[in-house]
Amino acid sequence: LRSERQLTEWLRKKCGIPAGSEVVLGIGDDCAIYRPRGSRDDLLFTTDLFLEDVHFLRRTHTAADAGRVAISRGLSDIAAMGGEPRFVLVSLSVPTWADGKWVRSFFRALTARTGTCGAVLAGGDLSHSEKLACDVVVCGAVPKGKALLRSGAQPGDAIYVSGRLGGSALGLETEAGKAWKRHVTPEPRVAVGREIRTRLRATACIDISDGLSLDLERLCLASNLAAEITEPPIFPGATLGHALHGGEEYELLFTVPETVRVPSRVAGVSLTRIGQTTSGKAGQILFQGERMKPLGYDHFRLK
Amino acid sequence: LRSERQLTEWLRKKCGIPAGSEVVLGIGDDCAIYRPRGSRDDLLFTTDLFLEDVHFLRRTHTAADAGRVAISRGLSDIAAMGGEPRFVLVSLSVPTWADGKWVRSFFRALTARTGTCGAVLAGGDLSHSEKLACDVVVCGAVPKGKALLRSGAQPGDAIYVSGRLGGSALGLETEAGKAWKRHVTPEPRVAVGREIRTRLRATACIDISDGLSLDLERLCLASNLAAEITEPPIFPGATLGHALHGGEEYELLFTVPETVRVPSRVAGVSLTRIGQTTSGKAGQILFQGERMKPLGYDHFRLK
């Protein structure tokens, strides 16, 4: 295994969606899309693993931190498609070191987040193991045919990012202060996603989970475009490297037609133009005129 | 944590489904049920963890065995509600010991099973870790309001079981022969579930994943009933203990009104009457006249 992309591509080819399937979008975007017979909505599905020593450390995360981070990944994927979260399923393998109090605190923090978004915990699975293993599924809804995809950008669209980048990566290094707080209490941009879909006529969107450089490459590859960007807004104290390549930001990266007037804030979050798409080689990113490699996070890169 | 039931009950009380929610059934059955606006179908959702050293051993399971078992748990839950599998999501954390060949073989076996049922792999998540961790979500569909629940049994209903029990538990002990084959190539009873819902007017159903004794108790508790049973059909070579308490059978346990004529085989699988429900104390099971304790599998019992 050399990269996630290689395995994902193999799976995508192997698991072609047959014509007429109610699955209208399969592997390769932030969510799969399912269109039930007769339904007015398309349903968005995302599933995210949350594993001890991979996605969090027992030493640094409280139970509430863990619950919040576990649910944020999925909510952010729903936000990236402009959807409204409806329900979640949580599979949790309780580690030997956790007692009932820890588990209840984990679920309290997780369901507080879903409650804020109007979603309910509808089911799950329980198991036990040495280390904590968790998988969170989020289902969201969007009016039929209206989901924001990675693949809809057009040449010459303006590229925007929500919020400021690099805080989560900085927090992971320092384990202190506002940056650490940002790392363990991410704020999925559900309201922002809905607004950019309905009011800003966004053409494409992705959430920044593995770093701006890698996620912008993904958006460009899906849209068969290149991009030129400048410096994104940077979280106080973070470096340019943190902002360009740091993961777990859960900000939205999106494109709008050049003619759309984009407000500087939406749903309390700043929106900043960082560049535009071009008709160059698919996936090629120029940062301040220079080629930028996607250095974001890939689980298999070191293998 | 004293039992899965204790934690599940806490979650169920904490996560009440608000009136008017599209989630029409939450925690506590084989699947959650979601009813999209305007849809002709109810959607069934189940999520199941599949963890190295908990649900399988690297030493005993080939990649294809692992893929088949991982998907079977969810397909069996859909079968227990009389549903038709539509799509699956697979979250896989690839262990350090697995190479690309192993991973592809795992997915080939898994998707062969979903293909047989008419479902597609629509998405998932990839990660890495020391041990394999996997979570499989299956979505199934059933005409609106027609899902088979655990809670629908009436006093005096006949209790039936599909197939023969104890083979999987025997296989786990012997690691050889037909019993081992049964353990690593379970056959989710999707066609049987559909038939008992549509043709036999079943009142309640559950799949036997944690042992007949425990799963019958769950059905009885959900239906607020007691039950009296006799010996179930036993897999060749297995003991009565294997058949009563062994898990991972993936056979269906269901109730039908006393007046329904039940054929001895459905979709190529035998159906055997093993007793009836009574209006006694909820969850109390009499086996050949004696109280039977639910000795099936509970992840937290030993804590």
> Could you say which DSSP state residue A297 is in?
-
CB-based contact B34 A122, cutoff 8 Å: yes
With an 8 Å Cβ cutoff, is B21 touching chain A? yes
Give the whole-angstrom CA distance, residue B117 versus residue A90: 25
Question: Cα dihedral angle (B181, B148, B263, B230), rounded to 10 degrees?
Answer: 70
CB-based contact A127 B51, cutoff 8 Å: yes
With an 8 Å Cβ cutoff, is B14 touching chain A? yes
Q: What is the pLDDT of residue B303?
A: 36
Read off the tokens for B107: 């997915």
Burial B224-249 (b: 16+ CB within 10 A, else e): ebbbbbeebbbbeebeeebbbbbbbb
CB-based contact B36 A41, cutoff 8 Å: yes
Find the residue in A nearest to B298 (Cα): A127
CB-based contact B51 A300, cutoff 8 Å: no
CA Rg value for chain B = 19
Q: What is the pLDDT of residue B296?
A: 67
CB-based contact B137 A1, cutoff 8 Å: no
With an 8 Å Cβ cutoff, is B1 touching chain A? yes
CB B251 within 8 Å of CB B232:
no
Find the residue in B nearest to A99 (Cα): B1
With an 8 Å Cβ cutoff, is A13 touching chain B? no
CB B45 within 8 Å of CB A43:
no
CB A77 within 8 Å of CB A48:
yes
Among the listed residues B86, B15, B98, the one whose alpha carbon sits nearest the alpha carbon of residue B44:
B86
How far is B63 from chain A, CA to nearest CA, in Å?
Answer: 15
With an 8 Å Cβ cutoff, is A24 touching chain B? no
With an 8 Å Cβ cutoff, is A268 touching chain B? no
Among the listed residues B169, B271, B268, the one whose alpha carbon sits nearest the alpha carbon of residue B214:
B169
CB-based contact B133 A133, cutoff 8 Å: yes
CB-based contact B124 A1, cutoff 8 Å: no
CB B189 within 8 Å of CB B250:
yes
> Could you say which DSSP state residue A151 is in?
G
**B38, B53, B86 ranked by CB distance to A38: nearest:** B38
> Could you say which DSSP state residue B46 is in?
E
Measured at the CA of B28, the angle between CA B65 and CA B244, to 5 degrees, comes to: 55
CB A251 within 8 Å of CB A188:
no
Read off the tokens for A1: 């295994």
CB-based contact A17 B120, cutoff 8 Å: yes
pLDDT in tens, A65-112: 999 999 999 999 999 999 999 999 999 999 999 999 999 999 999 999
> Could you say which DSSP state residue A261 is in?
P
**Between A and B, how many residue pairs show a Cβ–Cβ distance under 8 A?**
217
Read off the tokens for A59: 């030493």
With an 8 Å Cβ cutoff, is A103 touching chain B? yes
CA Rg value for chain A = 19
CB-based contact A100 B7, cutoff 8 Å: yes
H/E element, A106: helix A100-117
Find the residue in B nearest to A298 (Cα): B127
CB B288 within 8 Å of CB B230:
yes
CB B270 within 8 Å of CB B162:
yes
Reduce the DSSP state of residue B295 to 3 states and report it: coil
Please identify every stretch of chain B with a pLDDT value under 70, giving residue numbers as ranges. 296-303
CB-based contact B51 A133, cutoff 8 Å: yes
- Local confidence pLDDT in tens for the 303 residues of chain A: 777 888 988 998 888 888 888 999 998 888 999 999 889 999 999 999 999 999 999 999 999 999 999 999 999 999 999 999 999 999 999 999 999 999 999 999 999 999 999 999 999 999 999 999 999 999 999 999 999 999 999 999 999 999 999 999 999 999 999 999 999 999 999 999 999 999 999 999 999 999 999 999 999 999 999 999 999 999 999 999 999 999 999 999 999 999 999 999 999 999 999 999 999 999 999 999 999 988 866 666 543
With an 8 Å Cβ cutoff, is A213 touching chain B? no
Among the listed residues B298, B214, B199, B296, the one whose alpha carbon sits nearest the alpha carbon of residue B253:
B214
Find the residue in A nearest to B93 (Cα): A49
**Taking the mean position of all CA atoms in its chain, how far away is CA A158?**
20
Question: Cα dihedral angle (B183, B188, B192, B196), rounded to 10 degrees?
Answer: 110
**What is the ipTM, given to two decimal places?**
0.91
CB-based contact B135 A8, cutoff 8 Å: no
Q: What is the pLDDT of residue B159?
A: 98
User: Which phi and psi (to 5°) does residue B134 adopt?
Assistant: -140, 145
H/E element, A222: helix A212-223
Give the whole-angstrom CA distance, residue B46 versus residue B29: 9
Among the listed residues B298, B252, B248, the one whose alpha carbon sits nearest the alpha carbon of residue B65:
B248
Q: What is the pLDDT of residue A17?
A: 86
Read off the tokens for A56: 């969090």
CB B30 within 8 Å of CB B207:
yes
Q: What is the pLDDT of residue A227?
A: 98
Give the whole-angstrom CA distance, residue A88 versus residue B296: 28
Query: Is the Cα torsion angle A26, A36, B25, B220 positive or negative in sign?
Result: negative
Cβ within 8 Å of A, B 62-91: 86-87, 89-91
Helix axes A100-117, B4-14, angle to 10 degrees: 30
Query: Which residues from chain B sit within 8 angstroms of residue A133, using beta carbons?
Result: 49, 51, 93, 129, 133
Query: Which residues from chain B sit within 8 angstroms of residue A15, using beta carbons?
Result: 111, 120-122
CA-to-CA separations, B212 to A78, A216, B34, B230, B251, in angstroms, rounded = 39, 52, 28, 12, 9
Q: What is the pLDDT of residue A296?
A: 67
